């Protein structure tokens, strides 16, 4: 029996990535670190409730059925979203506590990862692949 793979249409994933990049750049340009809370809350909602308001809003602009777009794997996107949420939270907390350099490090990482993903290389996918490979290698060596 074939298992169905849950997926997200690529345009929704791209919208979320652009939203992260634009939010981080806006927080840098304005000095308003609270802007980071917007993609952070959206990401947390996606992880905790399966509802990302950014993607939901973007869905209304799809011109075709969601299944007509290139699918992105749900589990992979959840993994990527965890990384984004950790970096956004790390940046927001760091800025709020006056640790500007640490805030820059976290926000540069998340903005760069999202932008590179938009260009076609998914850093989160590479990390997850390596983790899965490492686990498999450990299991093989234990047998």
Per-position pLDDT tens, the chain of length 143: 567 779 999 999 999 999 999 999 999 999 999 999 999 999 999 999 999 999 999 999 999 999 999 999 999 999 999 999 999 999 999 999 999 999 999 999 999 999 999 999 999 999 999 999 999 999 998 87
**pTM exceeding the 0.75 threshold for the entire prediction:** yes
Cα→Cα distances 43→4, 15, 35, 68, 77, Å: 24, 13, 13, 25, 11
Query: Is residue 78 within 8 Å of 33, Cβ to Cβ?
Result: no
Retrieve residue 49's tokens. 């409730």
Query: What is the distance between the alpha carbons of residues 75 and 28, in angstroms, rounded to a whole number?
Result: 31
Q: What are the structure tokens assigned to 110, written together?
A: 């998340």
Burial class (CB in 10 A: 0-12, 13-18, 19+), 134: exposed
Domain residue ranges of the chain, discontinuous segments joined by +? 7-142
Please answer whether residues 91 and 33 qualify as being in contact, where contact means their C-beta atoms are separated by less than 8 angstroms.
yes
């Amino acid at each position: 029996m074939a298992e169905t793979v849950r997926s997200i249409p690529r345009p929704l994933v791209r919208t979320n990535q652009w939203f992260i990049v634009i939010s981080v750049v806006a927080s840098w340009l304005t000095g308003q670190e609270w802007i980071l809370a917007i993609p952070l809350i959206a990401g947390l909602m996606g992880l905790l409730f399966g509802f990302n308001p950014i993607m939901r809003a973007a869905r209304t602009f799809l011109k075709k059925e969601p299944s007509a777009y290139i699918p992105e794997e749900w589990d992979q996107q959840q993994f990527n979203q965890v990384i984004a949420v950790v970096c956004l939270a790390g940046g927001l907390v760091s800025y709020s506590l006056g640790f500007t350099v640490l805030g820059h490090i976290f926000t540069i990482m998340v903005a760069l990862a999202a932008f590179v993903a938009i260009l076609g290389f998914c850093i989160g996918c590479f990390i997850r692949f390596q983790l899965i490979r490492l686990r498999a290698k450990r299991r093989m060596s234990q047998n």
